[in-house]
């Protein structure tokens, strides 16, 4: 059995910088046509010059691969309309982080008063720049995403022309919010479609499955599976592949992030097959929906996967992937 995917897209990807960038960027660029690139570097990507310089470093790191890095800015409520007009041709979205809620987010938003955000969000609405949000509060870790849903609803109501992407959703509450507002969209990761908190901490602690937002309950996973497998038109794949060196994961103060980029397409194919779901829906989930939502035309790339056992490497130059050492049932045969 073989599957052909046309121009797969990863709509939430961390490529990091420096040596880590050179390790992980080629792994995504080989099999994906493009990806939305997260801006939470140190310092964050927050100017036109930052965007152009980071994009160049990405392109330099991927060599001859055909791949489009869809660049983002780190949201600041001080962005003016003039600034956004000057940078809009270089970016695909702007990413908003609540302050201190995840890796390198200390410079994020510390309050969600509409008046404080209105000038920037009105300008983004008028210019057609989507807003991607890491939607968590600072509350109890299992409740953070559900507690953020009223903020999504407040933003969607006050800025009806603004495309708001709920990033890496993990709860049934976020799935329910999708159908309440026409301007709410979502990305879903591979790992949140597979694991629950029990896989992370129910037995021996599994540091390579620890991420933010943390994996939730089985009923939350079922809600995510329902909209992903059905290719809900406002849902798209975003890996949130977040690499860290092995020594940062297998350590006190374990870094948050699951590295899935090199196995994402293979494992998604297996997941859709296990759930007796049409691979046409997989095509929509990993490409077609994102093209429609973002209004992008990706590089033409055809990825052919076959039903052939693949053993996931133990690491990629010191970065441990999800399912390291395990066998999965699909492999990438060819990319053209």
**Residue of 151, 131, 133, 249 whose CA lies nearest to 200:** 249
**Residue of 263, 250, 236, 238 whose CA lies nearest to 326:** 263
- Are 71 and 65 in contact, with CB atoms under 8 Å apart? no
- Determine how β-strand 184-188 pairs with β-strand 93-96: unpaired
- Determine how β-strand 9-13 pairs with β-strand 2-6: unpaired
Please count the CA atoms within 13 angstroms of the CA of 174 that sit on its side-chain side. 33
- Determine how β-strand 327-328 pairs with β-strand 310-311: antiparallel
Element (H, E) at 131: strand 131-133
- CA pair distance 209, 198, nearest whole angstrom: 11
Is 122 an annotated catalytic residue? no
Q: Cβ–Cβ contacts within 10 Å for residue 83, how many?
A: 16
**Residue of 96, 114, 110, 108 whose CA lies nearest to 153:** 114
Q: Any idea of the CA torsion for 166, 171, 176, 177, to the nearest 10 degrees?
A: -30
- Active-site annotation holder among 116, 240, 280, 314: 240
**Residue of 119, 100, 120 whose CA lies nearest to 108:** 100
- CA pair distance 16, 42, nearest whole angstrom: 9
- CA pair distance 158, 116, nearest whole angstrom: 13
Instruction: Please give the structure tokens belonging to residue 37.
Output: 């690139």
Element (H, E) at 96: strand 93-96
Positions annotated as catalytic residues are 240
């Amino acid at each position: 059995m073989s599957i052909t995917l046309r121009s797969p897209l990863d709509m939430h990807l961390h490529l990091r910088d420096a040596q880590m960038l050179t390790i992980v960027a080629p792994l995504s660029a080989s099999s994906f046509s493009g990806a939305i690139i997260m801006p939470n570097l140190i310092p964050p990507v927050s100017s036109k010059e930052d965007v152009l310089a980071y994009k160049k470093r990405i392109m330099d790191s991927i060599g001859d691969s055909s791949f489009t890095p869809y660049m983002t800015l780190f949201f600041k409520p001080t962005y003016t309309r003039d600034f956004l007009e000057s940078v809009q041709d270089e970016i695909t979205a702007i990413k908003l982080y609540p302050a201190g809620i995840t890796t390198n987010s200390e410079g994020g938003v510390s309050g969600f008063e509409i008046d404080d955000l209105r000038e920037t969000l009105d300008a983004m609405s008028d210019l057609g720049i989507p807003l991607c949000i890491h939607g968590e509060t600072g509350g109890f870790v299992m409740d953070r995403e559900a507690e953020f849903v009223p903020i999504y609803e407040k933003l969607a109501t006050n800025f009806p022309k603004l495309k708001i992407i709920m990033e890496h959703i993990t709860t049934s509450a976020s799935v329910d919010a999708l159908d309440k507002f026409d301007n709410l969209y979502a990305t879903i990761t591979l790992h949140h479609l597979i694991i629950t908190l029990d896989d992370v901490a129910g037995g021996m602690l599994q540091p390579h499955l620890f991420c933010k937002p943390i994996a939730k309950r089985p009923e939350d996973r079922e809600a995510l599976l329902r909209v992903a497998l059905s290719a809900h038109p406002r849902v798209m794949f975003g890996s949130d592949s977040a690499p860290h060196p092995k020594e940062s994961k297998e350590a006190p103060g374990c870094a948050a992030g699951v590295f899935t980029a090199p196995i994402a397409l293979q494992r998604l194919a297996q997941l859709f097959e296990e759930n007796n779901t049409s691979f046409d829906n997989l095509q929509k989930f990993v490409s077609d929906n994102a093209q429609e939502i973002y209004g992008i035309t990706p590089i033409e790339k055809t990825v052919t996967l076959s039903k052939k056992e693949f053993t996931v490497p133990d690491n990629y130059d010191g970065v441990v992937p999800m399912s390291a050492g395990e066998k999965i049932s699909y492999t990438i045969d060819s990319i053209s």
